[in-house]
Amino acid sequence: MSFTMTSKDYVAYIKMAAKKIHDNGDYISELDATTGDGDHWANINMGFENLVAAGDEMEAMPICDVFKKIGMLMMSKIGGSSGVLYGGAYMAAAKAVAGKATIDSQDLCLVLETMVNDMMTRGKAQPGYKTMIDSLYPAAQTYKACLERGDSDKDTMAAVKKAAMDGAEETKKMEAVKGRASYQANKGVGHLDPGAVTMSYQLECLCDYVSENLL
């Protein structure tokens, strides 16, 4: 069982995620003002605005080049740690699916796995460090497990979405090891990590998009 995701689909998903991020501006800014320097929403929102603006151009590319373009835009348009981490992760994903015009479910799983591995290496971070990795890592692990078990695509998308959202929620009780929250006396304990929340928004939109449009 699988599905085919085209560049057009990926751009449509990016537009969904851009709206979700845009609509939660005050909430995310408040989260980052509490444990960081308050700019996370402005950073990521600016990045997604640039991705949406490049939408028409990206729709016409093979999906491997879409990932490369997203990586370059995120690297150059998003300030702060997130720009470098998302930029590097998307460029690594482009290499993982090099030559592919479209991707299937196995490829999408590989993309998420490649992204989280790149983020962990680049950011010198592990799961449990109270970062965006705490949403993406369980999502990628769950996706892999579902594929190995041969779960239906509907069940897989629902499980990946839940893992991403639960993972972000888990950051509330974590002590930050990386990122600005680690500079705080209480290491951010009791507060959600903003980067994990915006990561979970993206994964939520991705799973919903696939489930509602490709299955």
List interacting residues with ligand ADP (CB under 6 A).
32, 36-37, 39-40, 43, 80-82, 85, 119, 123-125, 131-133, 178-180, 193-196
Q: What residue 196 binds from Mg ion, ligand ADP, none (CB within 5 to 8 A, per partner kind)?
A: ligand ADP
Q: What residue 194 binds from Mg ion, ligand ADP, none (CB within 5 to 8 A, per partner kind)?
A: ligand ADP
Helix axis angle for 133-149 and 194-213, nearest 10°, is 30
Nearest residue to ligand ADP, using CB?
Answer: 195
The nearer residue to ligand ADP, 32 or 170, going by C-beta atoms, is 32
Q: What residue 193 binds from ligand ADP, Mg ion, none (CB within 5 to 8 A, per partner kind)?
A: ligand ADP
Nearest-approach distance from CB 204 to ligand ADP, in angstroms: 16
Given a contact cutoff of 8 angstroms between Cβ atoms, the answer to whether 29 and 44 are in contact is no
Amino acid in position 166: D
Residue 34 C-alpha from the chain's centroid: 22
d(CA 50, CA 199): 17
Residue 31: both structure tokens together: 């989260």
Residue 103: DSSP 8-state:
B
The nearer residue to Mg ion, 35 or 200, going by C-beta atoms, is 35
The nearer residue to ligand ADP, 21 or 103, going by C-beta atoms, is 21
d(CA 152, CA 212): 14
d(CA 188, CA 179): 10
Which residues of this chain interact with Mg ion, rule CB under 5 A?
36-37, 39-40, 80
Residue 63: both structure tokens together: 């999906």
The nearer residue to ligand ADP, 142 or 198, going by C-beta atoms, is 198
